[in-house]
Structure 1
Amino acid sequence: MNDEGILGLVELLRTAGLSVPVGNLIAFTEAVGIVGDDLRSLYWCGRATLTHSPIDIDIYDRVYRHWILGTEISLTEMVSGAPKPLLVDDDENLDGEQPESADAETDDGAVLRFSRTETLRSMDFADLDDEERFEVDRLIAKLRLNATTRRSRRRRPSKRTFGVPDLRRTVRESLRTGGEPIKRRTLQRTRVARRVVIIADISGSMASYSRSLIRYAHAAVSARGQVEAFALGTRLTRLTRELDTRDPDQALQRAADSVEDWSGGTRLGEGLRRFNDEWGTKGMARGAIVVILSDGWDRGDPEQMECEMARLSRVAHRIVWVNPLKASDGYAPLARGMAAALPYVDDFIDGHSLASLDRLSSILSSDGAGPVRSRFASRPEEVTR
Structure 2
Amino acid sequence: MTKDAIVLGAGIVGVSTAIHLQRRGRQVILVDRKAPGKETSFGNAGLIQREGVVPYGFPQQFGLLLRYAFNNRIDAHYHLRALPGQIAFLARYWWNSNTRRHEMISRAYAPLIEHSISEHNDLIEASHADELIRKNGWMEIFRTDEKRDAEFAEAERLNREFGIAYDALTGADIASLEPHIRGSFSGGLRWRDPWSVLDPHGLIAAYRAYFESIGGLFATGDAVSLGRSGSQWKMVTAEGSIEAEDVVVALGPWADLVTKRFGYAFPLGVKRGYHMHYAAEDNAILNNWTLDAERGYLLAPMSRGIRLTTGAEFALRDAPKTPIQLDRAEAVARTIFPLGERLDPEPWMGARPCTPDMMPIIGKAPRHDGLWFAFGHAHHGLTLGPVTGRVLAELITGEKPFIDISAYAPDRFAP
Q: Same fold (TM over 0.5)?
A: no
Instruction: Give the TM-score range, shorter chain.
Output: under 0.3
Higher strand proportion: 2
Larger radius of gyration: 1
TM normalised by structure 1 equals 0.27
Higher helix share: 1
Q: Which has the higher contact order (CA 8 A, sep 6+)?
A: 2
